[in-house]
Amino acid sequence: MKETILKVKNLAVSYTTYRGKVRSVRGLSFKLKKGETLALVGESGCGKSASVKPIMGEHEANQVIESGEITFTYDGPQGEETVDLLKIDDEKMQQEIKGKQIAMIFQDPMTSLDPTMKIGKQIAEAIKTSSSDLSSEELTDKVRELIDMVGIGHIDTVMNQYPHQLSGGMRQRIVIAIALSSDPSLLICDEPTTALDVTIQARILNLIKKLQRERGLSVIFITHNLGVVANVADRVNVMYAGKIIETGSSEDIFFDPRHPYTWGLLSAVPDVHDNEEKLPTINGTIPDLTKEIVGDAFAPRNPYALEIDFKEEPPMFSVNEHHEAATWLLDERAPKIEMPELLQQRIMRMRGEVYD
């Protein structure tokens, strides 16, 4: 059994806005083991980014942490330490954790590098935070090594270039190099490929996967696109309205999804085989999180909603020891409802492909 490096327990985050308090994250719990890749999946606005900001120690003026605990275990200067990232003081966060233990890759590589600083310098700056005693030659070597690691060929040219001279894919590689410069144990990827061309997306995903394996990184992978997750994640957490509504291994979620929302997400992934149909989408929009939600937050959009969904929030029902879903459909009293036929056919095909 691998050790757990990050444990989020009952995290609730809200934002005060002119419309009132937006409860973006409403009691989120998950565990991340060493070397594991965990995907957080959901539509935009479901609280994915809001739930990782506290992990990175990012405070916003209107952000309120209502409750929760984020325990992080790492090899600190004084040996193994376990801290609550919500209670840790800013200085320790900045000096020991940010960049060194937890690093992040952002959504839009076009805007995430300083436009007026050379690439080499931006990488060097990140290296220096963990190893300040390097000589300038050693530093340059390390920078070259990192650029090489992310698969960029003409290292010397790139080092002396500015971000605007590079393509989006190249920039995202540089961002990855920066993130990995201090050998972190946890990498958070916030929609790292959304802003990129489809062809480049795959390459960046493969790079992240490769580096994750080589370095035994633990990764939290945030995305709204389940298709992206399939070959990256070990475990998948599907989020809706600030909560996890289904969690399981990649296999559980892709081959045996139980929550109607997950069905909807999976059906929305384009598939070459059903070219004759238009993509099924989930109707409606995410609920207004300024209001108290009664029952299942997804019920109003759920074509399989039960009466009870409008009255009482479903608990997590266990499907097997690593697969849980929060839907009343799993209650023994519920009618037997199966996933849409289209999705069933797809899963059959996928299984076939996998086991071939």
Partner 1 sequence: MIKNMQSTTNNNDFSLAHREQKVDHYSGESLSFIQLVFRNFARNKVALVSVLVIILIALTAFLGPQLSHFNPNTPDPQNSNLTPGQNGHWFGTDNLGRDIFTRVAAGTGISLEVAFVAMIIDLIIGTTYGLISGYFGGKVDIIMQRVTEVLSTIPMIIIVTLLVLVMKPGLMSIITAMMLVGWINMSRIVRAQVLKIKNEEYILAAKTMGMPNSKIIFSEVLPNAMGQIVTTFMFSIPNAIFLEAFLAFIGLGVPAPLSSLGTMINDGYTQAIVFPHMVIFPVLFLALIMLGFNIIADAIRDAIEES
Partner 2 sequence: MKKYILKRILIAIATLFLITFILFLMEKAMPGSPFNDEKMTHEQVQALYAKYGLDKPVLVQFWNYIKNMMMGDFGVSYSLQVNTPVTQIIAQHFPVSLTIGLLATVVGAICGFVMGIVAALKHNTMIDSLMTGISVLGVSLPNFVVALILSIIFSFQLYLLPAVYSADRPFISIILPIIALSTFTMASAERYARSEMIEIMHSDYIRLADSKGISRRQLVLKHVVRNTLISVITVLAPLMIDLIAGSMVVEKAFAIPGLGTTYISAIQANDYNVVLGITFFYAILFIGIMLFVDILYGIIDPRVRLDKG
Cα distance between residue 185 and residue 100, in whole Å: 8
Segment interacting with partner 2 (CB under 8 A) among 76-84, 111-119, 315-323, 329-337: 111-119
Cα distance between residue 124 and residue 132, in whole Å: 10
Binding to partner 1, residues 301-340 (CB under 8 A): 301, 303-311, 328, 331-338, 340
Partner that binds at residue 328, options partner 2, partner 1, none, CB closer than 5 to 8 Å by kind: partner 1
C-beta of residue 102 within 8 angstroms of C-beta of residue 58: no
User: Which letter does DSSP use for residue 192 in this model?
Assistant: T
In 3D, which of 58, 67, 76 has the Cα closest to residue 5? Answer: 76
- Bridging pattern class, strands 186-190 and 102-105: parallel
In the list 10, 16, 75, 117, the residue contacting partner 2 (rule: CB under 8 A) is: 117
In the list 288, 294, 345, 349, the residue contacting partner 1 (rule: CB under 8 A) is: 288
Segment interacting with partner 2 (CB under 8 A) among 53-61, 139-147, 270-278, 316-324: 53-61
Partner that binds at residue 162, options partner 1, partner 2, none, CB closer than 5 to 8 Å by kind: partner 2
- Bridging pattern class, strands 218-223 and 186-190: parallel
In the list 116, 135, 136, 281, the residue contacting partner 2 (rule: CB under 8 A) is: 116
Partner that binds at residue 205, options partner 2, partner 1, none, CB closer than 5 to 8 Å by kind: none
Segment interacting with partner 2 (CB under 8 A) among 63-71, 72-80, 115-123, 253-261: 115-123
Three-class HEC string of 40-104: EECCCCCCHHHHHCCCCCCCCCCEEEEEEEEEEEEEECCEEEEEECCCCCHHHHHHHHECCCEEE
Cα distance between residue 232 and residue 221, in whole Å: 9
Q: Is 110 in the site for partner 1 (CB under 8 A)?
A: no
3-class SS of residue 144: helix
Q: Is 222 in the site for partner 1 (CB under 8 A)?
A: no
Interacting residues with partner 2 (CB under 8 A): 56, 58, 61, 94-95, 97-100, 103-104, 106-108, 111-117, 122, 125-126, 128-130, 161-162, 164-165, 175, 178-179, 181-182
